[in-house]
Structure 1
Amino acid sequence: MNDASSQSASFSRVFADKKLSVGLLTPLEAYPNTPFPNLAHHQDIAKLAEDAGFASIWLRDVPFYDPNFGDAAQIIDPFVYAGYLSAVTRSITLGTAGAILPLRDPIAVAKQAASVDLLTNGRFVLGVSTGDRPVEYPAFGKDFDKRGEMYRESVEMINTLHQQSFPRFHSKHYGQLAGSLDLHPKPVNKRMPIMAVGRSRQPIEWLANNVDAWIWSVDDESAIRDIIASLNIAAEDKPAPHYGYATFFDLDANPDAPYQRFYNVVRIGRNALIERLLSHQELGVNHIALNLKPSRRPAQEVIEEMGQYVLPHLG
Structure 2
Amino acid sequence: MNPEKPLHDLAGHDAFSRTFQHGQLTIGFISPASGYPDSPFPGLSDQAEIVQSLDRSDAAALWLRDVPFYDPSFGDTGQVLDPLVYAGWLAALTQRIAIGTAGFVTPLREPVITAKQITTADQLLGGRFLAGMASGDRPTEYPAFGVDFATRVERYREAVALIKTLTSVSFPRLKTEHFGHLRGDIDLVPKPAASRIPIIAIGRAGQSLEWLGEHVDAWIWHGDAQRMSEVVPHWREVTASRGFVPFGYGAMFDLDTDANAPLQTGRVLHGGRHALKAFFARQRDAGVNHVALNLKPTRRPALEVIAELQEYVLPEFAVGEDPAAM
CA distance in 1, matches of 2:279, 2:176: 45
CA distance in 1, matches of 2:112, 2:65: 19
Counterpart residue type for residue 234 of structure 2: S
Instruction: Note the 1:209-248 alignment, pairs <5 A.
Output: 209-220=214-225, 224-225=229-230, 227-248=231-252
Among 298, 301, 318, which residue is 1:298 paired with? 301
Q: Mind listing any 5+ residue stretches in structure 1 that lack a counterpart?
A: none
Counterpart residue type for residue 250 of structure 2: A
Tell me the alpha carbon deviations over residues 43-84 of structure 1, each in whole angstroms, 9 at most, x when there is no partner. Answer: 110010121211110000000001111111111100000000
Counterpart residue type for residue 298 of structure 1: P
Superposed displacement of residue 220, structure 1: 5.0
Among 267, 274, 278, which residue is 1:275 paired with? 278
CA separation of 1:45 and 1:126: change in aligned 2, threshold 3 A = same
Equivalent residue of 1:282, what SS?
helix
Mean CA deviation greater in 57-66 or 34-43: 34-43
Q: TM (normalized to structure 1)?
A: 0.96
CA distance in 2, matches of 1:77, 1:286: 27
Instruction: Note the 1:163-182 alignment, pairs <5 A.
Output: 163-182=168-187
CA distance in 2, matches of 1:184, 1:245: 32
Q: Aligned residue for 1:83?
A: 88
Q: Mind listing any 5+ residue stretches in structure 2 that lack a counterpart?
A: 1-5, 319-326
Contact 1:32-1:293 within 8 A present in 2 as well: yes
Q: TM (normalized to structure 2)?
A: 0.93
Q: Aligned residue for 1:23?
A: 28
CA distance in 2, matches of 1:241, 1:94: 19
Superposed displacement of residue 114, structure 1: 0.5
Between the aligned residues of both structures, percent identity stands at 46
Among 110, 113, 118, which residue is 1:113 paired with? 118
Q: How many residues align?
A: 313
Contact 2:252-2:269 within 8 A present in 1 as well: yes
Q: Aligned residue for 1:285?
A: 288
Tell me the alpha carbon deviations over residues 252-299 of structure 1, each in whole angstroms, 9 at most, x when there is no partner. Answer: 0000001113x5111110000000010000011110000111002111
Contact 1:166-1:180 within 8 A present in 2 as well: yes
CA distance in 2, matches of 1:257, 1:54: 23
Tell me the alpha carbon deviations over residues 192-227 of structure 1, each in whole angstroms, 9 at most, x when there is no partner. Answer: 1011000001111111111111110145555523x2
CA distance in 1, matches of 2:219, 2:286: 15
CA distance in 1, matches of 2:225, 2:48: 33
Instruction: Note the 1:16-55 alignment, pairs <5 A.
Output: 16-55=21-60
Superposed displacement of residue 3, structure 1: 2.7
Equivalent residue of 1:67, what SS?
coil
Superposed displacement of residue 162, structure 1: 1.1
- RMSD of aligned residue pairs (Cα, Å): 1.3
Equivalent residue of 2:52, what SS?
helix
Equivalent residue of 1:37, what SS?
coil
